[in-house]
Structure 1
Amino acid sequence: MGDDYLESGRVRQKLRTREDLIAAARRLIQGGDTPTVEEAAEASGISRTTAYRYFRTQAELLAAAFPETAVRSLLPSPPPEDAVDRVHAVTSAIIDVIERTEMQQRAMLRLSLGDTPHELPLRKGRAIGWLEEALEPSRETMGAESLRQLAIAIRSVCGIEARVWLSDVAGLDSHDIRALQLWAAIALVERAAVEPPPGRSSF
C-alpha cells in the first residue's frame, strides 16, 4: 500500500481497516493456513478491492503479520562484552521470536518454498544482521568475511527451518529444541575461535 493512500483522507479509519486485515491474516495463520489477500479480506468482512489497496501481494500481507520486521537489534541493554554471551543472548531472542510466531514463520516458509518466487522481507537476512552485531567483539581478530560466515552458520541452526525439522522429523519438544539450538550456536562460536569458518569460495 502506498503511503499517499494511507495518509490521505480518513487516516484513522484506514489504519483500522489495515489492522483488521492483519488480524484476520494472523487468525488464519494460527489455523494453519497461508492466507491470500482475498482470504484475509473475506475473513475480515472487507472487500477485495479495498484489501488490495493496503496489500498488493500475499507476501506483503504475511510480512505485515510480523511485528518483528522493525526490530533492529536483539541485544539486551546494556549488552554483554563477551562474544559468546552476546551470541547466547541474541540466539535465545531469535528462538523466542520463532516460538512466539511459529505459525506465521511456517506460513512464510511455505510461501518461500512455492513455485513462484516471492520477495519476503523476513527472509532477507535480518537474523544475520542481529548475529553479526552479537559477534562484533570478534570482528578484528576474525575478519569481516569469516564473521559473516559464522553468523550464517549460527542462523542455520536456530531458524524456522531447523525448528521445523527438529520438531516434525526429530520429534523434539520446544524445551529440547531450544536447548539443542543454543548448544549448537555456542559450539559454532567456540569452534570458530580455533578454526574460522570456510569462505564462500570453499563451499
Structure 2
Amino acid sequence: MSTGYLESGRTRQKQRTRDQLIAATRELITAGDTPRVEEVAEAAGISRTTAYRYFASQAELLAAAYPETAATSVLPDPPPSALDERVAAVAGFFIGRVQEAEPQQRAMLRLSLGEVPHELPLRQGRAIAWFVEALAPTADSLGDEGVHQLALAMRAACGIETRVWLSDVAGLAPAQVSALQQWMVDAIVKHALTTPPPT
C-alpha cells in the first residue's frame, strides 16, 4: 500500500483497518497457513477490494506481518571486549527472535522459496550486520571478506532454515534447537580462530 493512501483522510480508521488485516494475518500464520490477501480479508471481515488497497500482494502482506526490529546493533552497552561474549550475545538475541516469531518466520521461508521480491525481511540481512559488528576484533586477522564469510556461517547456523531442519527432521524440542544453534555458533568461532573461513 502506498504511504499516501494511509496518510490521506480518515487516517485513524485506515490505520485500524490495516492493523486488523495484519492481526488476522498473524493469526492465520500461527495456525500454520501462508495466507493470501483474500483469505486474510475474509478472516478480518473486510472486503477483498479494501484489503487490496492496503496490500497489493501476498508478499507485501506477509512482510507487514513479519516481526521486525530496526536495531542496528544488538550488543549490550557497553559491548564486551571478549570475542566469544560478543558473538554469544548476538547469537542469543537472534536465536531468541527466530524462536519467538517461528510461525511468521516459517511463512516467510515458505514464500521465499518461490518468486519473492528481494526486499522481503528474511532476505534483508540484518543479522549478518550484527554478526559482523560482533566480529570486529577479528578484522585485522581475517580481513573484511573473512569476517563477512564468518558472519554468513553464523547466520546460517542460527537462522530459521536450520531451526526448521533441527525441529522437523531431527525431531529436537524447541529448547534443544536453540541450545544446539548457540553451540554451533560457538564452535564456528573457536574453529575460525585457528582456521579462517574460505574467501
TM-score, normalised on structure 2? 0.94
Q: Where does residue 78 of structure 2 map in the other structure?
A: 78
- Cα distance, 1:117 vs structure 2: 3.7
Within 2, Cα distance between the matches of 1:101 and 1:117?
A: 20
- Cα distance, 1:118 vs structure 2: 3.7
Within 2, Cα distance between the matches of 1:60 and 1:74?
A: 26
- Cα distance, 1:42 vs structure 2: 1.1
Within 1, Cα distance between the matches of 2:59 and 2:77?
A: 33
Distance 1:162 1:66, change over 3 A: same
- Choose 122-131 or 183-192, whichever is displaced more: 122-131
Q: How many residues align?
A: 198
One-letter identity of the residue aligned with 1:134:
A
**TM-align CA RMSD:** 1.3
Which runs of 5 or more residues in structure 2 are unaligned?
A: none
The answer to whether 1:37 aligns with 2:25 is no
Deviations 1:123-151 (A, max 9, x none): 23221111111112222222110000000
Quick check: 2:109–2:122 contact (8 Å CA) kept in 1? no
One-letter identity of the residue aligned with 1:77:
D
Within 2, Cα distance between the matches of 1:78 and 1:54?
A: 41
- Cα distance, 1:11 vs structure 2: 1.1
Deviations 1:85-110 (A, max 9, x none): 11101111111111111011111111
Within 1, Cα distance between the matches of 2:187 and 2:75?
A: 19
Q: Where does residue 63 of structure 1 map in the other structure?
A: 63
Within 2, Cα distance between the matches of 1:196 and 1:160?
A: 25
TM-score, normalised on structure 1? 0.92
SS in 2 for 1:70: coil
One-letter identity of the residue aligned with 1:49:
T
Within 1, Cα distance between the matches of 2:67 and 2:103?
A: 14
The answer to whether 1:22 aligns with 2:22 is yes
Taking the TM superposition and a 5 Å limit, the aligned residue runs for 1:1-203 are 1-114=1-114, 116-119=115-118, 120-199=120-199
Which runs of 5 or more residues in structure 1 are unaligned?
A: none
- Cα distance, 1:69 vs structure 2: 4.3
